[in-house]
Amino acid sequence: MSAIPYTALPSGTKIPTFGLGTWRMGEDARRRLAEVAALRHGIERGVTLIDTAEMYGNGEAERIVAEAVGKRRAEMFIVSKVLPENAGRRDTVAACERSLKRLKTDRIDLYLLHWRGDVPLEETIAAFVGLCEAGKIVDWGVSNFDISDMGELWKTPDGNTAATNQVLYNLTRRGIEFDLMPWCRQRKIPVMAYSPIEQGRLLGHAALREVAARHRATPAQVALAWLMRHDDVIVIPKATTLAHVDENVAALDLLLTHDDFAALDNAFPPPKKPVPLAML
């Protein structure tokens, strides 16, 4: 396995560009042991970034992360998110405390607003800044913000200290390449790509399978390697079996060629005009 590369957040904090996602974990108690085992296996394989949220499994995913991490917290980079209805100044602090308790940790490395809600941005940002000053979180950012949202965020006091924007990005969801990604790149804000294989829906595409066959790889590995061509994109695939974890991790060793990228661009064309931000 190739070493997992890192990128830098605007604060200078280093973050791995490959991690483990946890969306839909904690929703079925019968799958809990397998979910813990998958995360633990990923950690044993050297994956130290885990992305979760208070919404996932109504907090149960955070408890699963805590169980999987165990005594290895010091080497981990944990990302969690606050729901927009909990994003008021006091409510954000309270939500963070609940997440810290479920995660069994004294800090969250990166804390995100899950998506834009009705609470004024200045309230949420003020809470994030206060949590940073208190040592409860290290960095903060947003999720599912389009370019208009990011522009408003940047004009809000302390909004220009946001560390990342986590968005839906994969071969079939390339809209951010037209404007949002260049905007973030200009400000040295890494993008976090969730649902990198579109919940598995793109894996049957003929072009993806052809590229995979040339490399004796799987379509999922090609989709992940395609995203990891960017050194400022953080990819967080979810896996709930040991074999799936191994498959995803193996994408780190896959080097796509110029012809591969051309074939994928032909099959999944990049945007030529603004595209509304997609969410699952």
CATH number at residue 77: 3.20.20.100
Give the residue ranges of DSSP H helices in 45-162: 60-69, 89-103, 121-133, 147-155
pLDDT at position 200, please?
87
Give tens-digit pLDDT for 182-193: 999 999 999 999
**Quick check: is 76 in a domain?**
yes
**Quick check: is 254 in a domain?**
no
Q: What proportion of the chain, given as a percentage, has pLDDT over 90?
A: 98
**Quick check: is 1 in a domain?**
no
**Quick check: is 94 in a domain?**
yes
- Average pLDDT of every residue of the chain: 97
Q: H or E stretch including 194?
A: strand 191-194
Q: What is the mean pLDDT of residues 148-163?
A: 98
What's the whole-model pTM score?
A: 0.97
Annotation says 169 is catalytic: no
**Quick check: is 58 in a domain?**
yes
**Quick check: is 223 in a domain?**
no
**Quick check: is 132 in a domain?**
yes
Confidence of residue 2 (pLDDT cuts 50, 70, 90): confident
Residue 236 · residue 193 · CB < 8 Å: yes
Residue 122 · residue 113 · CB < 8 Å: no
Show the domain range for 188: 11-201+233-240
Confidence of residue 73 (pLDDT cuts 50, 70, 90): very high
Confidence of residue 255 (pLDDT cuts 50, 70, 90): very high
Confidence of residue 74 (pLDDT cuts 50, 70, 90): very high
Instruction: Identify the active-site residue in 6, 56, 169, 194.
Output: 56
Q: In angstroms, how far is the first alpha carbon of the chain from the final one?
A: 31
Sign of the Cα torsion 52, 56, 58, 62 reads negative
pLDDT at position 1, please?
75
Give tens-digit pLDDT for 204-217: 999 999 999 999 99
Please count the residues of the chain.
280
- SS3 helix, strand, coil % of the chain, rounded to 5? 50, 15, 35
- Residue 263 CA to residue 225 CA, distance in Å, equals 14
**Quick check: is 160 in a domain?**
yes
Domain total of the chain: 1
Q: What is the mean pLDDT of residues 164-170?
A: 98
